[in-house]
Amino acid sequence: MSKNEGPSKIEYPFPDSKRFLVLLNRGASGRPVTTLRRQLAGAFSARGVPFDIVEPSDREEAFHVTRAAAKRGYRAVVAVGGDGTVGVALRGTAGTEVPVAIVPCGTGNQLALNFGVPSSLEESVGVAVEGSVVKIDIGRANGDPFALMAGAGLDADVMTDATTELKNRVGFAAYLYSGLKNVIVPPSADFRIVADEHEVEVNASMVLLANAGQLKAGPFPVELTVAPESSFQDGFIDVCIYAPRNLPEVAGLLWQVARRQFAG
């Protein structure tokens, strides 16, 4: 774990149940990490709450730090970063009563969008400290919890090709590059989907398991609804099947999604 510089915690004899663990992804923001750390410390200090800022070197260390804080009964884990950082926080707090809050400053901030978390640091810290705790549905993919979506096919290929190194270099453009690379010739696979008492076999480019439906195109003022009836609190995971066979059909599919035209 990297050593923190400057004010990173309030050193009062508060019990763990009053403390916030601030899980900071050093590479998630375009601003210098020292500036981000100072802004976080200022925002939490201004609200008079005890906090610990940690900067794990990788996701595995982040998981162990978060897990330890959850077992100690911290008031909340505040994920400062993008969806990947939030995902680690969810893994670490799984099975406990410790909630996860979000300060969105990553390459992808889709969870924050769907939760309506403000984009500004000050306001999102305010929500973390003063907001209400709500319970949401959580899915599992390969044993790990997810709150937003899990996908197979095109979605997974795009996420895989948008590597951490590429995101650190070009930001959200990594997803644009990866998306264009993969939609020129969309992948195709046979899927067998079993849900409750239903079984479906289909050839498709992508299958999404959606717990929420909104996606934002990075810095662009565009929001896409990929699962219009999904909800964090309805007790269901929506299965969305997409089967474009070529680039024109991909374009047509995006147009349908933008216009919220879906087949049931």
The per-residue pLDDT for range 41-92, each reduced to its tens digit, is 999 999 999 999 999 988 899 999 999 999 999 999 999 998 889 999 999 9
Q: What confidence tier does 20 reach under pLDDT thresholds 50, 70, 90?
A: very high
Is pLDDT above 80 for 198?
Answer: yes
Q: Which domains does the chain have, with CATH numbers?
A: 16-134 (3.40.50.10330), 149-258 (no CATH)
What integer pLDDT is reported at residue 6 of this predicted model?
A: 37
Is pLDDT above 70 for 143?
Answer: yes
- The whole-angstrom separation of Cα 247 and Cα 186 is 7
What's the gap between Cα 25 and its chain centre?
13
Burial category of 132 from C-beta neighbours within 10 Å (exposed 0-12, middle 13-18, buried 19 and up): exposed
Query: Which tens digits make up the pLDDT trace of 107-116?
Result: 778 888 888 8
What integer pLDDT is reported at residue 92 of this predicted model?
A: 94
Segment 170-184 shows an average pLDDT of 74
Q: What confidence tier does 204 reach under pLDDT thresholds 50, 70, 90?
A: confident
Segment 22-50 shows an average pLDDT of 90
Within 8 A by CB and 6+ apart from 130, the residues are: 47
Confirm if 229 and 236 have CB atoms less than 8 A apart: no
What integer pLDDT is reported at residue 224 of this predicted model?
A: 67
What integer pLDDT is reported at residue 180 of this predicted model?
A: 76
Burial category of 101 from C-beta neighbours within 10 Å (exposed 0-12, middle 13-18, buried 19 and up): buried
Q: What confidence tier does 205 reach under pLDDT thresholds 50, 70, 90?
A: confident
Point out the least confidently predicted range of 22-31, 64-73, 122-131, 176-185: 176-185
Q: What confidence tier does 216 reach under pLDDT thresholds 50, 70, 90?
A: low
Is pLDDT above 70 for 261?
Answer: no
Maximum C-alpha span of the chain: 62
